[in-house]
Amino acid sequence: MDKKSNEFLFRLLKTHSPSGDEAEYQKIWAEYVKDFAEVATDEVGNAIGVLNNKAKFKIMLAGHCDEISMMVSDIDEKGFVSFVKAGGINAKLIPGLKVEIRGYSNVTVPGVIGFNLEERKSDDGKHSCKDYFIDCGYDSDKELKKLIRVGDYIVYKSEPEIIGKDRLVCKGLDNKTGSFIVAEILRKLSSRKLAVGVYAVSTTGEETNMRGAHSAASKISPNLGIACDVTFNTDLPEEGSTHAKVFFEKGPVISVGSPVNRKINKIIEDTAKKLNLSLQIELSPDRTYTDADKIMFANTGVPVALVSLPLRYMHSPVEMASLKDINDIIELLAEMIAGLTGKEDFRPLVI
C-alpha cells in the first residue's frame, strides 16, 4: 500500500459514519475517487465511482461505509443519557468505554458509558443497551439539552493504528475496509484498458437496512455484482466450531452457497491461481448477511459473489485486520475485472 492509499484509509477510519449519517465520510471517499473516475451520488447517500461508463456489460463492486452505532433515546434531569443501538452493538462489551455524541448543534459531546456498581442485566439475563447510560459530565439536563437531543448518533471513540507486524486496529473496520477496497480496485483499473464498465459503490445503511446496495443495484442494473465485506477470523482460542476455518494472511475469503454464482467464483479462483494467491472458503447456505443479499434481488436478478476480509473482534469497539489481506483482495479483484471480456454469461444453465 503506497503512502497516498495509506493516508486515505486512515482518513476514512477517522471519520465517523453511523448508519444513517454517512455524508461526511462519503464526501471524503468521493473526493479521492474523482481523481481517477467519474463520481456520482444518489438519494440514499451512496457514493459511486465509474470507469468506462459506455460499456454495455457492467460490474458493480459494493463496500458499505456505515458503522454500527447508537442513538440518544432520553436525557434525564440529572444529565444521564439513555440510548438504543443502531446496528449490531454487543452490549456486554460497552461499559466504561469513551464515546462521542454527534450533537444536532454541530458539536461533538464526549461521554463515558456508565453502569451501576451492581451489574445489571435485562429480564432475559442478557446484556442490553438499556442496562447502561452515558455520563457526559453534566449535573443536569439543562446545559446538555442545548447540545444534544433525542435521535443524535453516538459512536465509539477510537483512533486507527498499526500494531505488531501489520495489524490494523480501529472501530468500524466492518466495513470501511470494504469501502476503501472498492475505491482502490477502481484506482488500479483506471490505468488499464477495460472491456467492461466498472461501478464501485461505497454503500450506505448495510448495518441497519441495506438501503444503499438495493438502490445502487436497481439503478446501475449490473450484469455482475461483487460485495466486499468482512468475515470472522476463526483462529482464536475455542472459536470456529460453527464457522469454516478462516485465518489472517491465508488469502481472500470467497463465499459458497445458495446466494453465490458459481461461475463468478470460478473466475475468481482462476485469477487467484494466476496471481499465486491462496483463497479461503466461508459458507453461506441461505444468505450472506451482506450487501450481496440485496444486490441479487435488484431488477430481474443479479448474479453475485462475496469476497471477504478476515476480521477479529467483529462488531466490537476495536476490530483487527491484516494490511496484507486488504492488499491481496485489491490485487485479486482488480486483475479479475481487467480480464473480463464483457461476453461472459453467468446464467447457471445455458440451453
In this structure, are 149 and 296 located in the same domain?
no
- Positions of the chain with pLDDT lower than 50, given as ranges: none
Give a yes or no: residue 166 inside a domain: no
pLDDT for res 234: 87
Whether the full predicted model's pTM is greater than 0.75, yes or no, is yes
Q: How many separate domains does the chain show?
A: 2
pLDDT for res 56: 97
In this structure, are 180 and 250 located in the same domain?
yes
Q: Give the DSSP letter string of 265-321.
A: HHHHHHHHHHTT---EEEE-SS--SSTHHHHTTSTT---EEEEEEEEBSTTSSSEEE
Take residue 226 and report the three cell numbers written for it: 461483487
Residue type, 351: I
Give a yes or no: residue 344 inside a domain: no
Give me the phi and psi of 234, to 5 degrees please: -115, 25
**Enclosing domain of residue 86:** 69-156
pLDDT tens for each residue of 27-39: 999 999 999 999 9
> Which H or E element spans position 73?
strand 69-75
Q: How far apart are CA 351 and CA 347, in angstroms?
A: 10
pLDDT for res 26: 98
Last residue in a domain, options 156, 187, 213: 156
In this structure, are 59 and 73 located in the same domain?
no
